[in-house]
Structure 1
């Protein structure tokens, strides 16, 4: 059932960003694959992420990913769970320690297909990342997980420098300032 809801959400998903709209059909097609929610699907699989912002929309929470050594949004593998909002919220809690997490809007915020480099005996593969806009309290204490080397609330005007001009993250930042997601 969750897979059907995801497919319908993707079919109804609209974005003004050409680079994002180019792979919507691929995401939809992937929902028909029984193994798409498992990391054992080595050519690529679904992941769920949380673009976490504070209520005033001045900061985003980023993690310095231990394996990739890059500042990224929080998220992770579906590991068989077809409800990617549930995956995103669980990963956000586990990776930050935050309990004040709240979904903003009523569905998918962003999607991104990106390559993950080979690590040990795991070959290079794609992550089909479905992202949700999540709001949290800026003053709530943070807990760094074993998947990160750092975790920080980054002011919006510093995100570009922090993420090394990552177009996917900059797209989410731009979306956050749009009227439907602004305060």
Structure 2
């Protein structure tokens, strides 16, 4: 079963808030109920994966300014059929930042989040069931932008709220200290 590895990771995850616990349980139920959960053609929602990228001293994180959503977020995106959420998070982080020094800090899930995505064109509003992992990178390595990203920056933890007030991003940042 191609969903088994993700279900195992989700069941081993230890959420830090009641909201994240509820989202983790809802994600488990979604994955169990939907064999096509890794496909964006599943229009009710699908699995995505993200990377919270930190500096080795854990004082900075990478945020991207997402072109379509016009918000500062962590890098991440669609699984597009790949059931390996860690690999998806790595691929998306590399594509959206251009960083080649990325290293997975832990194979465990850092965070789970479910968030609505607005309707766009012929794609209805749907949910992203986002599986997040912690990565580290060299803060001296230059970024390379792609078409999905307006900007990429290292952001000091003590100034992160100047870029984002997203509860889910701030929840992840609290976990790295």
TM bucket, shorter chain: over 0.9
1:23 aligns with 2:23: yes
Write the mapping of 1:4-19 to structure 2, written as runs, cut at 5 A: 4-19=4-19
How many residue pairs end up in the alignment? 176
Which runs of no fewer than 5 residues in structure 2 stay unpaired?
A: none
Q: Is the 8 A contact 2:9 2:108 kept in 1?
A: yes
Determine the C-alpha separation between the residues in 2 that align with 1:124 and 1:60: 29
Q: Which residue of 2 aligns with 1:181?
A: none
Helix, strand or coil: the match of 1:81? Answer: coil
Determine the C-alpha separation between the residues in 2 that align with 1:23 and 1:92: 23
Q: Is the 8 A contact 2:49 2:78 kept in 1?
A: yes
Write the mapping of 1:134-153 to structure 2, written as runs, cut at 5 A: 134-153=135-154
How far does the alpha carbon of each residue in 1:95-115 deviate from its partner, in whole angstroms, 9 at most, with x for none? 111111111122100010001
Determine the C-alpha separation between the residues in 2 that align with 1:176 and 1:79: 28
Determine the C-alpha separation between the residues in 1 that align with 2:107 and 2:115: 24
Q: Which residue of 2 aligns with 1:122?
A: 123
Runs of 4+ in 1 over 6 A off after TM superposition: none
Residue 30 of structure 1 and its aligned partner are, at CA, apart by 2.1
Determine the C-alpha separation between the residues in 1 that align with 2:16 and 2:97: 31
Q: Is the 8 A contact 2:15 2:24 kept in 1?
A: no
Q: Which residue of 1 aligns with 2:94?
A: 93
How far does the alpha carbon of each residue in 1:73-94 deviate from its partner, in whole angstroms, 9 at most, with x for none? 0010000000010000001111
Q: TM-score when scaled to structure 1? A: 0.93
Determine the C-alpha separation between the residues in 2 that align with 1:141 and 1:158: 21
Determine the C-alpha separation between the residues in 2 that align with 1:48 and 1:24: 14
Q: TM-score when scaled to structure 2? A: 0.96
Helix, strand or coil: the match of 1:47? Answer: strand
Residues 129-138 or 31-40, more deviating: 31-40
Residues 81-90 or 23-32, more deviating: 23-32
Query: Aligned-residue CA RMSD in angstroms?
Result: 1.0
Q: Which residue of 1 aligns with 2:82?
A: 81
Write the mapping of 1:11-90 to structure 2, written as runs, cut at 5 A: 11-32=11-32, 33-90=34-91
Which runs of no fewer than 5 residues in structure 1 stay unpaired?
A: 178-183
